[in-house]
Amino acid sequence: MKSVLLHCKNYKSKIGKLANHPTDISPEPIKEKKQSEKNCIVALITVEKGDNPKRCSEELDKEISAFAQDVKVKNIVIIPFAHLSNNPADSKTEIKFFEYLQDQLAYNLNVTRGHYGSDKALLLDIKGHKGNVRFREFQ
């Protein structure tokens, strides 16, 4: 699992088309075509083949929670982002990971979950301070 965590002033997303690559992708149903959030942490996440979804989500939960405490925010956006790896997990594993992570983060934070399996337009207005971008990797 690889993730880039960003402290953002503003986040906006708009779903374009459903993804057709890789060929075995199974997009989940669309619940919202547009999303937006202010003063938030945006986590761009790729789950990879061989990752343990539960263990990786627990590790990333700790990292996101610590980051949220460091920058004093309660709003979190988690986004499936296959572009961080050439070895992404299958759709079922990825969706399971995001369900675990969303449930864990929701105990203390306000969580928005991006759609799995679509091409998205993204606006990421990243704050400019030390530690505003963090890369994390777990297996």
pLDDT of amino acid 111:
97
Mean pLDDT of the chain: 92
First to last CA, the chain: 6
Helix (H/G/I), strand (E/B), else coil: 127: coil
CB 60 within 8 A of CB 138: yes
For 35-74, what is each residue's pLDDT tens digit?
Answer: 999 999 999 999 999 999 889 999 999 999 999 999 999 9
Per-residue confidence at 34, pLDDT binned at 50, 70, 90?
A: very high
CB 71 within 8 A of CB 41: yes
For 108-132, what is each residue's pLDDT tens digit?
Answer: 999 999 998 888 999 999 999 999 9
pLDDT of amino acid 113:
95
pLDDT of amino acid 112:
96
pLDDT of amino acid 3:
97
Per-residue confidence at 23, pLDDT binned at 50, 70, 90?
A: low
Say what angle helices 91-105 and 53-71 make with each other, to 10 degrees: 40
74: tokens are 């309660």
pLDDT of amino acid 124:
97
Residue 33 phi, psi dihedral angles, 5° rounding: -85, -25
Q: Does domain 6-132 have CATH number 3.40.190.10?
A: no
